Every structure is written in structure tokens, then in C-alpha cells.
Amino acid sequence: MPELPFPLPSVQQVIFVLIAGLMILGALTVVLARNLFHSALGLVAAFFGAAGLYLVAEAEFIGVSQVLVYVGAISTLITFAIMLTRGMMFGATSPRNRQSGTAAMITLLAFVVLWALVSTIPWPQAGEAIGDGEAIIAGLGRAFVNEYVVPFQLLAMLLLVALAGAIVLARDRK
């Protein structure tokens, strides 16, 4: 076998690049599609890509939860909202408006900040200490009722408030 000028990518790397490509495509569809429903579908593709990335990182629980929550619930909700909005469902709407430039700049800034953060933080290497998935789920559950019980309950509270607020806003006022 002749020596290659660069090291062969591992399987994980190839899969990562494929999934990342899918996510970027999906994200671009969300921003650039002229049809809102296509944007929603692009969002679903991006969510799927995120789930795939979790699977590549061997975090099956989070990956599957991602599909369950984002693809199953949130995307359906968004699609419903788009479909029930008159005039948005059919026909093209331009994705551009006067704030496109500002939005692009802020997005770029956010990307740079995130990139700088991710590349400078010394991430802890878990290695073999994680154990099998069963232990992870059990540990996650235990953390939710011990260490993180207050944030967890606060999040639930937030969702409840948002739900009640949406109902109050949407109520038919006489």
C-alpha cells in the first residue's frame, strides 16, 4: 500500500462531515427558502443532523431525545403554525428584509465568539470512565432529582407559564 500524503480520515470523521453537510444544507434552507414550509422542512433536517451528531458522539439518549422532542413535537408545532397562518402557506415570501445585513453580522459575531470559546476551552476527556448507557440514563435521572432539582423544576415552571400565557394571548376577547 503506497504512503498517502495525508492520513486517512476515520469512519467517524467521514460520518461527521456528511452529517455536518446535511445540517448546513438544512440551515441554509431555513434562512434562504422562499417558501416557509420548505424552511420548516430544512429545520427538521437540521434537527436530524444534530441527533446524528449526538449519535456519533455515542450519546444515544440525547440523540433519541432530540428526535423525540425537536422532530416529533417542536417541528410539528412549527409546521402547524405555518400551515394555519393565512397567506403564508402558499406562494413565495421573500426571506429578505431591511434587517438582513444586521442579522448576518450578528450571526457572524455569534459564530466567531462560539468558535473562539470552543477552541480555547480545555474540554475534559471522559475516556473510558463513562460506563455503559444504562448507567448514564440512571445517573441523569438521579442528577435531575438531586443536584439539579431546582433548575429542572424551574424549567418545567417556565414551560407551564409559556403555555398558560399562549392560551391567554390567543383567547377570544369579547
Closer CB to other proteins, 21 or 116, in the complex = 21
Restricting to residues 14-43, which ones interact with other proteins according to CB under 8 A?
Answer: 35, 37-38, 41
Rounded to an integer, what distance in angstroms lies between the CA atom of residue 134 and that of residue 31? 39
Measured from the CB atom, the residue of 132 and 172 that comes closer to other proteins is: 132
What character string, x for contact with other proteins (CB under 8 A) and - otherwise, covers 104-133?
----------------------------xx
Q: Which residues contact 145 (CB under 8 A, 6 or more apart)?
A: 152
Binding test (CB under 8 A) with other proteins, winner from 4, 6, 11, 118: 11
The rounded distance, in Å, linking the Cα atoms of 55 and 63 is 6
Are 33 and 7 in contact by the 8 Å Cβ rule? The answer is no
In whole angstroms, the minimum distance from the beta carbon of 144 to other proteins comes to 14
Backbone angles phi, psi at 155, to 5 degrees: -60, -45
Alpha-carbon gap, residue 43 to 111, rounded angstroms = 18
Provide the binding-site residues for other proteins, judged by CB under 8 A. 10-11, 35, 37-38, 41, 44, 60-61, 64-65, 67-68, 71-73, 75-76, 79-80, 83, 89-90, 132-134, 137-138
